[in-house]
Amino acid sequence: MPIREKTQLMSASEIERTLVRLAHEIVEKNASLDRLVLIGIRRRGVPLAQRLAYNISQIQQHPVPVGILDITFYRDDLSTVGQKPVHTATEIPFTIADKDVILCDDVLYTGRTTRAALDALFDHGRPRRVQLLVLIDRGHREIPVEAQYVGKYVETTDAEIIEVKLREVDQMEKVLLVEKTD
C-alpha cells in the first residue's frame, strides 16, 4: 500500500516529555502505588510501559512491575482457519489478581485492540481496576472505550494512519501522520 508522509506529530524529545508527564499523572491519580502494575500490549505498548515504570520509580522511588501482553488470539477478526497468527510470548510473571492495572498501548483507534487486551488480561486474573494509557488517541471509536491517560489527541480521517516509532522497536523515535494513497 503506497503511503505518503504528511506530518510529524511528535519528536523524540516530545515523546520523552510526554511520558514524564504521564508518569506524573499516574502517580497523582493512584494514591497508593502498592497495587500498581503496568501491562504493555505487544509490541509498542511494551517499551512505553517499561519507560513509564522507570519514570515512576524516579518520581516515587517505588518499583512498578511491568508485564507484557500478547493479544493475537483475542482479536475479533481472527478467522478460524487459514490464518497464520503471529503470537509472541505473554510475560506476566506476577499475579494481577486484585491489582490496579494500567494497560499501555501506542495508539487508541477503534477500541478493538483494547477490548481484546481486556479479554486476554482477564484470562490471566481478575484485577481490582484497569485503566488505559495511550500515547496517541486518534478517535473513530467503534467500541465504548476511553483512555484515562492520553499523551496526545490527534484529529484524523479514516484514510490516515498514525505511525509510532520507538527506538526499542524501530531504531528511531517519532510519531508520524501518514496517508494511504491508492
Partner 1 sequence: MSNAAMPKSLLGIEELSASQIQAILERARIFKPVQTQGRKMDRLKGKTVIHLFYENSTRTRLSFELAARRLGADTTSITAQSSSVQKGESLLDTLNTLAAMRPDAIVMRHSASGAPHFLARHLATTIVNAGDGTHEHPTQALLDAFTILEHKPVLNGLTVAIIGDIAHSRVARSNVLLMGKFGARVILCGPPPLLPPELKELSPCVSLCHSLDEAISGADVIMMLRVQLERQNEVYVPSTHEYFQYYGLTLDHMKKAKPDAIVMHPGPINRGREIAAEVADSPRSVILNQVENGIAVRMAVLDLWIGPPTQPDPEKTMQPQMNADERR
Partner 2 sequence: MLLIKNGRVVDPSQNLDAPAQVLIRDGRIAKVAERISAADAEVFDAKGLIVAPGFIDLHVHLREPGNEHAETIETGGRAAAAGGFTSICCMPNTTPVNDNAAVTQFIVETSRRVSPVNVFPIGAISSRSAGERLAEIGQMHRAGIVGLSDDGRPVMSSGLMRHAMEYSLAFGLVMIQHAEDLTLTQGGQMHEGVQSTRMGLRGIPGSSEDVMVARDILLAEQTGARYHVAHLSTARSLELVRDAKRRGLAVTCEVTPHHFTLCDEDVRDYDSNYKMKPPLRSRADRDAMIEGLADGTVDAIATDHAPHAGSEKMQEFDLAPFGIIGLESAVGLALERLYHPKHVTLSRLVNLFSCNAARVVELKDRGTLKPGSHADVTLFSTDRAWKLDANQSASRSRNTPFDGREFRGGPEATIVAGRVVWRRA
Binding residues for partner 1, rule: CB under 8 A, are 32, 34-35, 95, 97-99
CA distances from 96 to 28, 37, 60, 129, 160 (A): 21, 8, 21, 10, 36
How many residues at the interface with partner 2, by CB under 8 A? Answer: 21
When CB distances are held under 5 to 8 angstroms depending on the partner's kind, the choice from partner 1, partner 2, none that residue 156 binds is: none
**What phi and psi, each to the nearest 5 degrees, are found at residue 91?**
-130, 90
Q: Is the peptide bond before 35 cis (omega within 30 degrees of 0)?
A: no
Residue 88, C-beta contacts closer than 8 angstroms, at least 6 positions apart: 42, 43, 70, 72
**Shortest reach from residue 117's CB to partner 2, in Å:** 13
CA distances from 54 to 7, 48, 138, 178 (A): 30, 10, 26, 30
When CB distances are held under 5 to 8 angstroms depending on the partner's kind, the choice from partner 1, partner 2, none that residue 84 binds is: partner 2
When CB distances are held under 5 to 8 angstroms depending on the partner's kind, the choice from partner 1, partner 2, none that residue 97 binds is: partner 1
The reply to whether 70 sits near partner 2 by the rule CB under 8 A is yes
Smaller CB separation from partner 1, 33 or 59: 33
Binding residues for partner 2, rule: CB under 8 A, are: 70, 72-74, 78-81, 83-85, 87, 89-94, 120, 123-124
